[in-house]
Structure 1
Protein backbone atom coordinates (compact mmCIF):
# COMPACT_ATOMS: atom_id res chain seq x y z
CA UNK A 1 0.00 0.00 0.00
CA UNK A 2 1.25 3.47 -0.86
CA UNK A 3 1.37 6.41 1.48
CA UNK A 4 -1.86 8.30 2.02
CA UNK A 5 -2.11 11.88 0.80
CA UNK A 6 -3.25 14.36 3.42
CA UNK A 7 -5.65 16.86 1.87
CA UNK A 8 -5.98 20.33 3.35
CA UNK A 9 -9.26 21.30 5.02
CA UNK A 10 -10.93 24.65 4.44
CA UNK A 11 -10.75 26.86 7.49
CA UNK A 12 -13.92 27.81 9.36
CA UNK A 13 -14.29 31.19 7.65
CA UNK A 14 -14.00 29.64 4.19
CA UNK A 15 -16.66 27.08 5.08
CA UNK A 16 -18.96 29.88 6.23
CA UNK A 17 -18.45 31.87 3.00
CA UNK A 18 -19.21 28.91 0.74
CA UNK A 19 -21.66 26.87 2.82
CA UNK A 20 -22.97 27.60 6.28
CA UNK A 21 -23.47 31.38 6.21
CA UNK A 22 -24.00 31.84 2.47
CA UNK A 23 -27.51 32.86 1.43
CA UNK A 24 -29.53 33.08 -1.75
CA UNK A 25 -29.81 36.79 -2.60
CA UNK A 26 -33.18 38.23 -3.61
CA UNK A 27 -32.04 41.81 -4.21
CA UNK A 28 -28.80 43.27 -5.50
CA UNK A 29 -26.81 46.49 -5.12
CA UNK A 30 -25.89 48.65 -8.11
CA UNK A 31 -22.22 47.64 -7.72
CA UNK A 32 -21.04 46.33 -11.10
CA UNK A 33 -19.70 42.81 -11.60
CA UNK A 34 -16.63 42.84 -13.82
CA UNK A 35 -15.73 40.52 -16.67
CA UNK A 36 -12.74 39.43 -14.60
CA UNK A 37 -15.01 38.35 -11.73
CA UNK A 38 -17.22 36.38 -14.10
CA UNK A 39 -14.17 34.71 -15.67
CA UNK A 40 -12.96 33.85 -12.17
CA UNK A 41 -16.28 32.08 -11.48
CA UNK A 42 -15.89 30.04 -14.64
CA UNK A 43 -12.25 29.23 -13.92
CA UNK A 44 -13.32 27.67 -10.61
CA UNK A 45 -16.35 25.89 -12.06
CA UNK A 46 -14.46 24.22 -14.89
CA UNK A 47 -12.61 21.95 -12.46
CA UNK A 48 -15.84 20.28 -11.31
CA UNK A 49 -15.83 16.47 -11.61
CA UNK A 50 -18.09 15.13 -14.36
CA UNK A 51 -18.78 11.71 -15.82
CA UNK A 52 -15.67 10.74 -17.84
CA UNK A 53 -14.65 14.41 -17.70
CA UNK A 54 -17.26 15.30 -20.35
CA UNK A 55 -17.91 18.88 -19.07
CA UNK A 56 -21.22 19.54 -20.86
CA UNK A 57 -22.15 22.76 -19.02
CA UNK A 58 -22.07 26.07 -20.87
CA UNK A 59 -22.77 29.60 -19.58
CA UNK A 60 -24.15 32.75 -21.15
CA UNK A 61 -23.57 35.85 -19.00
CA UNK A 62 -26.29 38.45 -19.53
CA UNK A 63 -25.02 41.88 -18.41
CA UNK A 64 -26.48 44.55 -20.69
CA UNK A 65 -29.88 46.26 -20.35
CA UNK A 66 -30.73 44.98 -23.83
CA UNK A 67 -29.86 41.43 -22.84
CA UNK A 68 -31.95 41.63 -19.67
CA UNK A 69 -34.85 43.07 -21.65
CA UNK A 70 -34.73 39.97 -23.84
CA UNK A 71 -34.53 37.67 -20.82
CA UNK A 72 -37.26 39.27 -18.66
CA UNK A 73 -40.33 37.94 -20.56
CA UNK A 74 -39.08 34.38 -20.07
CA UNK A 75 -38.71 34.67 -16.28
CA UNK A 76 -41.55 33.83 -13.90
CA UNK A 77 -43.29 37.00 -12.74
CA UNK A 78 -41.96 36.59 -9.18
CA UNK A 79 -38.39 36.45 -10.44
CA UNK A 80 -38.36 39.39 -12.86
CA UNK A 81 -37.64 42.21 -10.39
CA UNK A 82 -34.66 40.50 -8.76
CA UNK A 83 -33.30 39.42 -12.14
CA UNK A 84 -33.58 43.00 -13.34
CA UNK A 85 -31.73 44.25 -10.23
CA UNK A 86 -28.80 41.83 -10.64
CA UNK A 87 -25.77 43.34 -12.41
CA UNK A 88 -25.09 39.98 -14.07
CA UNK A 89 -27.28 36.99 -14.83
CA UNK A 90 -25.93 33.59 -15.82
CA UNK A 91 -27.97 31.36 -18.08
CA UNK A 92 -26.53 27.96 -17.23
CA UNK A 93 -27.02 25.51 -20.07
CA UNK A 94 -25.68 22.23 -21.36
CA UNK A 95 -24.48 21.36 -24.83
CA UNK A 96 -26.51 18.55 -26.41
CA UNK A 97 -23.50 17.80 -28.61
CA UNK A 98 -21.08 17.54 -25.69
CA UNK A 99 -19.91 14.14 -26.92
CA UNK A 100 -18.06 15.81 -29.79
CA UNK A 101 -15.51 17.05 -27.23
CA UNK A 102 -14.73 13.54 -25.92
CA UNK A 103 -11.53 13.10 -28.00
CA UNK A 104 -10.25 16.34 -26.42
CA UNK A 105 -11.42 15.92 -22.82
CA UNK A 106 -11.13 12.12 -22.50
CA UNK A 107 -8.21 11.23 -24.78
CA UNK A 108 -7.62 7.88 -23.06
CA UNK A 109 -10.81 6.56 -24.69
CA UNK A 110 -11.73 8.82 -27.63
CA UNK A 111 -13.92 6.17 -29.25
CA UNK A 112 -16.47 6.72 -26.49
CA UNK A 113 -17.69 9.58 -28.67
CA UNK A 114 -18.95 7.06 -31.22
CA UNK A 115 -21.02 5.27 -28.56
CA UNK A 116 -22.99 8.45 -27.93
CA UNK A 117 -23.58 9.45 -31.54
CA UNK A 118 -26.60 7.15 -31.87
CA UNK A 119 -27.49 6.86 -28.16
CA UNK A 120 -29.60 10.00 -27.79
CA UNK A 121 -31.18 8.92 -24.49
CA UNK A 122 -27.80 8.09 -22.96
CA UNK A 123 -26.32 11.31 -24.26
CA UNK A 124 -29.13 13.37 -22.73
CA UNK A 125 -29.07 11.63 -19.33
CA UNK A 126 -25.27 11.74 -19.06
CA UNK A 127 -25.10 15.34 -20.23
CA UNK A 128 -27.84 16.58 -17.93
CA UNK A 129 -26.42 14.72 -14.92
CA UNK A 130 -22.90 16.05 -15.41
CA UNK A 131 -24.14 19.56 -16.17
CA UNK A 132 -26.15 19.48 -12.94
CA UNK A 133 -22.96 18.63 -11.04
CA UNK A 134 -21.27 21.61 -12.66
CA UNK A 135 -24.27 23.87 -11.99
CA UNK A 136 -24.11 23.14 -8.26
CA UNK A 137 -20.40 23.91 -8.26
CA UNK A 138 -21.11 27.11 -10.23
CA UNK A 139 -23.17 28.47 -7.31
CA UNK A 140 -20.34 27.69 -4.90
CA UNK A 141 -17.87 29.36 -7.28
CA UNK A 142 -19.96 32.55 -7.24
CA UNK A 143 -19.72 32.56 -3.46
CA UNK A 144 -16.00 31.78 -3.52
CA UNK A 145 -15.54 34.82 -5.78
CA UNK A 146 -17.03 37.07 -3.09
CA UNK A 147 -20.41 37.50 -4.76
CA UNK A 148 -23.97 36.45 -3.98
CA UNK A 149 -25.83 33.95 -6.13
CA UNK A 150 -29.56 33.77 -6.71
CA UNK A 151 -30.27 30.48 -8.52
CA UNK A 152 -33.79 30.19 -9.93
CA UNK A 153 -35.95 27.53 -11.51
CA UNK A 154 -38.88 29.80 -12.40
CA UNK A 155 -38.40 30.44 -16.12
CA UNK A 156 -39.54 29.35 -19.56
CA UNK A 157 -36.65 27.18 -20.71
CA UNK A 158 -37.78 26.68 -24.31
CA UNK A 159 -38.44 30.42 -24.54
CA UNK A 160 -34.91 31.24 -23.34
CA UNK A 161 -33.50 28.64 -25.73
CA UNK A 162 -35.33 30.24 -28.66
CA UNK A 163 -34.31 33.76 -27.62
CA UNK A 164 -30.63 33.16 -26.93
CA UNK A 165 -29.60 29.74 -28.23
CA UNK A 166 -31.27 29.49 -31.62
CA UNK A 167 -28.97 27.76 -34.07
CA UNK A 168 -26.90 26.22 -31.25
CA UNK A 169 -27.03 22.94 -29.36
CA UNK A 170 -27.40 24.58 -25.95
CA UNK A 171 -30.37 23.84 -23.65
CA UNK A 172 -31.15 25.99 -20.59
CA UNK A 173 -30.73 24.27 -17.23
CA UNK A 174 -30.80 27.07 -14.64
CA UNK A 175 -30.74 30.87 -14.31
CA UNK A 176 -28.52 32.48 -11.66
CA UNK A 177 -28.54 36.13 -10.61
CA UNK A 178 -25.08 37.34 -9.59
CA UNK A 179 -23.95 40.44 -7.69
CA UNK A 180 -23.46 42.09 -4.34
CA UNK A 181 -26.44 41.87 -1.96
CA UNK A 182 -28.83 44.81 -2.04
CA UNK A 183 -31.40 46.09 0.44
CA UNK A 184 -33.04 43.36 2.58
CA UNK A 185 -31.52 40.64 0.40
CA UNK A 186 -32.28 37.61 2.58
CA UNK A 187 -35.43 35.84 3.62
CA UNK A 188 -35.39 34.38 7.11
CA UNK A 189 -33.15 31.30 7.20
CA UNK A 190 -35.34 28.24 6.67
CA UNK A 191 -34.85 24.93 8.51
CA UNK A 192 -32.69 22.11 7.16
CA UNK A 193 -33.77 18.47 7.11
CA UNK A 194 -32.76 16.77 10.37
CA UNK A 195 -29.56 14.79 10.01
CA UNK A 196 -31.23 11.67 11.41
CA UNK A 197 -33.71 11.75 8.54
CA UNK A 198 -31.16 12.48 5.84
CA UNK A 199 -28.16 10.34 6.76
CA UNK A 200 -27.96 6.58 7.09
CA UNK A 201 -25.07 4.27 7.93
CA UNK A 202 -24.24 0.80 6.69
Structure 2
Protein backbone atom coordinates (compact mmCIF):
# COMPACT_ATOMS: atom_id res chain seq x y z
CA UNK A 1 0.00 0.00 0.00
CA UNK A 2 1.61 3.33 -1.01
CA UNK A 3 2.10 6.04 1.56
CA UNK A 4 -0.83 8.43 1.70
CA UNK A 5 -0.17 12.15 1.12
CA UNK A 6 0.27 14.37 4.16
CA UNK A 7 -2.67 16.55 5.19
CA UNK A 8 -2.46 20.11 3.91
CA UNK A 9 -0.97 22.76 6.18
CA UNK A 10 -4.38 24.29 6.89
CA UNK A 11 -5.49 20.98 8.47
CA UNK A 12 -2.24 20.55 10.40
CA UNK A 13 -2.57 24.11 11.69
CA UNK A 14 -6.14 23.49 12.87
CA UNK A 15 -5.26 20.23 14.59
CA UNK A 16 -1.89 21.20 16.08
CA UNK A 17 0.10 24.30 15.22
CA UNK A 18 -2.58 26.99 15.65
CA UNK A 19 -4.68 25.18 18.24
CA UNK A 20 -4.57 26.30 21.86
CA UNK A 21 -5.85 25.13 25.20
CA UNK A 22 -8.88 27.38 25.59
CA UNK A 23 -9.78 29.05 28.90
CA UNK A 24 -12.71 31.23 27.75
CA UNK A 25 -15.62 30.52 25.46
CA UNK A 26 -18.19 32.42 23.45
CA UNK A 27 -21.88 31.64 24.09
CA UNK A 28 -22.21 29.38 21.04
CA UNK A 29 -24.06 26.07 21.54
CA UNK A 30 -22.83 22.66 20.43
CA UNK A 31 -25.59 20.48 18.98
CA UNK A 32 -26.40 16.84 19.63
CA UNK A 33 -25.49 16.17 16.00
CA UNK A 34 -22.01 17.60 16.53
CA UNK A 35 -21.49 15.52 19.67
CA UNK A 36 -22.51 12.37 17.79
CA UNK A 37 -20.15 13.32 14.92
CA UNK A 38 -17.40 13.88 17.47
CA UNK A 39 -17.79 10.41 18.92
CA UNK A 40 -18.09 8.88 15.45
CA UNK A 41 -14.61 10.24 14.71
CA UNK A 42 -12.83 9.53 17.98
CA UNK A 43 -14.08 5.94 18.21
CA UNK A 44 -11.78 4.93 15.36
CA UNK A 45 -8.60 5.74 17.30
CA UNK A 46 -6.68 2.59 18.27
CA UNK A 47 -6.78 1.10 21.76
CA UNK A 48 -5.13 -2.04 23.14
CA UNK A 49 -7.21 -5.14 22.36
CA UNK A 50 -9.72 -2.69 20.81
CA UNK A 51 -10.84 -2.34 24.43
CA UNK A 52 -12.30 1.18 24.14
CA UNK A 53 -12.46 1.67 27.92
CA UNK A 54 -13.31 5.40 27.80
CA UNK A 55 -16.79 6.55 28.71
CA UNK A 56 -17.96 10.10 28.00
CA UNK A 57 -20.46 12.26 29.83
CA UNK A 58 -21.32 15.39 27.84
CA UNK A 59 -22.24 17.89 30.56
CA UNK A 60 -24.31 20.57 28.84
CA UNK A 61 -27.48 21.43 30.75
CA UNK A 62 -27.42 24.06 33.51
CA UNK A 63 -28.50 21.38 35.98
CA UNK A 64 -25.63 19.08 35.07
CA UNK A 65 -23.14 21.98 35.10
CA UNK A 66 -24.37 22.82 38.62
CA UNK A 67 -23.62 19.23 39.70
CA UNK A 68 -20.12 19.45 38.23
CA UNK A 69 -19.16 22.90 39.52
CA UNK A 70 -18.51 22.01 43.20
CA UNK A 71 -15.99 19.36 42.12
CA UNK A 72 -13.88 21.84 40.12
CA UNK A 73 -10.94 23.86 41.35
CA UNK A 74 -11.82 27.53 41.71
CA UNK A 75 -9.68 28.44 38.71
CA UNK A 76 -11.61 26.09 36.44
CA UNK A 77 -15.17 26.97 37.40
CA UNK A 78 -15.75 30.04 35.21
CA UNK A 79 -14.34 28.49 32.04
CA UNK A 80 -16.30 25.29 32.59
CA UNK A 81 -19.50 27.25 33.14
CA UNK A 82 -18.87 29.25 29.94
CA UNK A 83 -18.06 26.21 27.77
CA UNK A 84 -20.89 24.91 25.61
CA UNK A 85 -20.13 21.37 26.77
CA UNK A 86 -17.82 19.88 29.37
CA UNK A 87 -16.86 16.28 28.67
CA UNK A 88 -16.07 14.00 31.58
CA UNK A 89 -13.64 11.45 30.16
CA UNK A 90 -13.95 8.39 32.37
CA UNK A 91 -12.82 4.79 32.27
CA UNK A 92 -14.94 1.69 32.62
CA UNK A 93 -13.44 -0.54 35.30
CA UNK A 94 -15.13 -3.55 33.67
CA UNK A 95 -14.30 -2.73 30.05
CA UNK A 96 -13.27 -6.35 29.47
CA UNK A 97 -16.93 -7.40 29.47
CA UNK A 98 -17.11 -6.02 25.92
CA UNK A 99 -13.98 -7.81 24.65
CA UNK A 100 -15.78 -10.90 23.30
CA UNK A 101 -17.56 -8.71 20.72
CA UNK A 102 -14.98 -5.94 20.32
CA UNK A 103 -11.90 -8.19 20.14
CA UNK A 104 -13.03 -11.50 18.65
CA UNK A 105 -9.50 -12.55 17.58
CA UNK A 106 -9.18 -14.61 20.77
CA UNK A 107 -10.61 -14.65 24.29
CA UNK A 108 -8.69 -11.83 25.98
CA UNK A 109 -11.24 -11.24 28.74
CA UNK A 110 -9.59 -13.67 31.23
CA UNK A 111 -6.34 -11.69 31.00
CA UNK A 112 -8.07 -8.80 32.73
CA UNK A 113 -10.54 -10.73 34.90
CA UNK A 114 -7.61 -12.32 36.69
CA UNK A 115 -5.29 -9.31 36.88
CA UNK A 116 -6.73 -6.16 38.45
CA UNK A 117 -3.48 -4.21 38.04
CA UNK A 118 -3.34 -4.96 34.32
CA UNK A 119 -7.00 -4.03 33.92
CA UNK A 120 -6.53 -0.71 35.73
CA UNK A 121 -3.39 0.20 33.78
CA UNK A 122 -5.05 -0.72 30.48
CA UNK A 123 -8.20 1.26 31.27
CA UNK A 124 -6.23 4.34 32.31
CA UNK A 125 -3.76 4.31 29.42
CA UNK A 126 -6.35 3.70 26.75
CA UNK A 127 -9.02 6.04 28.10
CA UNK A 128 -6.28 8.71 28.13
CA UNK A 129 -5.63 7.95 24.46
CA UNK A 130 -9.34 8.20 23.71
CA UNK A 131 -9.52 11.54 25.50
CA UNK A 132 -6.72 12.78 23.26
CA UNK A 133 -8.60 11.50 20.22
CA UNK A 134 -11.61 13.48 21.48
CA UNK A 135 -9.56 16.71 21.53
CA UNK A 136 -8.31 16.14 17.98
CA UNK A 137 -11.77 15.16 16.73
CA UNK A 138 -13.21 18.33 18.29
CA UNK A 139 -10.59 20.46 16.56
CA UNK A 140 -11.21 18.65 13.27
CA UNK A 141 -14.90 19.58 13.57
CA UNK A 142 -14.10 23.24 14.19
CA UNK A 143 -14.47 23.27 17.98
CA UNK A 144 -11.98 24.52 20.53
CA UNK A 145 -10.93 22.43 23.51
CA UNK A 146 -9.74 23.13 27.01
CA UNK A 147 -8.64 19.96 28.81
CA UNK A 148 -8.23 20.18 32.56
CA UNK A 149 -7.25 18.08 35.55
CA UNK A 150 -8.04 20.61 38.27
CA UNK A 151 -10.95 18.86 40.00
CA UNK A 152 -11.76 16.54 42.87
CA UNK A 153 -12.12 13.05 41.34
CA UNK A 154 -14.11 11.66 44.26
CA UNK A 155 -16.61 14.53 44.00
CA UNK A 156 -17.01 14.05 40.23
CA UNK A 157 -17.56 10.33 40.70
CA UNK A 158 -20.06 10.86 43.52
CA UNK A 159 -22.04 13.26 41.32
CA UNK A 160 -21.93 11.33 38.05
CA UNK A 161 -20.83 7.71 38.72
CA UNK A 162 -22.35 6.75 42.08
CA UNK A 163 -22.44 3.03 41.24
CA UNK A 164 -18.63 2.97 41.15
CA UNK A 165 -18.22 1.31 37.77
CA UNK A 166 -16.61 4.33 36.09
CA UNK A 167 -13.75 6.49 37.36
CA UNK A 168 -12.93 9.94 36.01
CA UNK A 169 -9.72 10.48 34.06
CA UNK A 170 -9.94 14.16 33.04
CA UNK A 171 -12.37 16.81 31.80
CA UNK A 172 -12.41 18.63 28.45
CA UNK A 173 -14.33 21.86 27.88
CA UNK A 174 -15.58 22.28 24.31
CA UNK A 175 -17.03 25.20 22.38
CA UNK A 176 -16.01 28.26 20.40
CA UNK A 177 -13.06 30.12 21.89
CA UNK A 178 -13.31 33.65 23.14
CA UNK A 179 -10.14 35.25 21.70
CA UNK A 180 -9.71 37.22 24.93
CA UNK A 181 -9.06 33.96 26.75
CA UNK A 182 -6.38 32.57 24.45
CA UNK A 183 -2.94 32.81 25.98
CA UNK A 184 0.26 33.05 23.92
CA UNK A 185 1.66 29.72 22.80
CA UNK A 186 3.99 28.21 25.37
CA UNK A 187 7.36 26.91 24.22
CA UNK A 188 7.89 23.29 23.28
CA UNK A 189 10.92 21.12 23.83
CA UNK A 190 13.01 20.46 20.72
CA UNK A 191 13.38 17.11 19.01
CA UNK A 192 16.94 16.87 20.30
CA UNK A 193 15.78 17.34 23.89
CA UNK A 194 13.18 14.59 23.87
CA UNK A 195 13.90 12.13 21.07
CA UNK A 196 16.57 10.04 19.43
CA UNK A 197 16.68 7.96 16.29
CA UNK A 198 18.45 4.65 16.87
- TM-score, normalized by the shorter chain, greater than 0.5: yes
Q: Is residue 2:148 matched to residue 1:120?
A: no
Q: Matched residues in 2 for 1:136 and 1:23: separation?
A: 14
Q: CA deviation at 1:126?
A: 1.0
Match status 1:96 vs 2:93:
yes
Give, in whole Å, the separation in 2 of the partners of 1:154 and 1:49. 27
The structure 1 segments of at least 4 consecutive aligned residues displaced by more than 6 Å after TM superposition are: none
Structure 1 segment 6-45 matched on structure 2, within 5 A: 6-45=3-42
Unaligned runs of 5+ in 1: none
SS in 2 for 1:89: strand
Q: Distance in 1 between matches of 2:7 and 2:179?
A: 30
* SS of corresponding position for 2:180: coil
Unaligned runs of 5+ in 2: none
Q: How does 1:66-77 map to 2 (within 5 A)?
A: 66-77=63-74
The counterpart of 2:136, out of the listed 129, 137, 140, is 140
Residues of 1 paired with 2:170 and 2:41: CA distance?
18
Residues in 2 aligned to 1:154 and 1:26: alpha-carbon distance in whole angstroms: 13
Q: What is the TM-score when the length of structure 1 is the normalising length?
A: 0.95
Give 1:168 shift: 4.8
Q: Secondary structure at the match of 1:16?
A: helix
User: 2:64 and 2:163 mapped to 1: Cα distance?
Assistant: 18
2:175 matched residue in structure 1: 179
Given candidates 171, 190, 197, the residue that maps to 1:194 is: 190
- In structure 2, distance between residues paired with 1:53 and 1:183: 38
SS in 2 for 1:55: coil
Offset of residue 183 of structure 1: 4.6
SS in 2 for 1:184: helix
- Relative to the length of structure 2, the TM-score reads 0.97
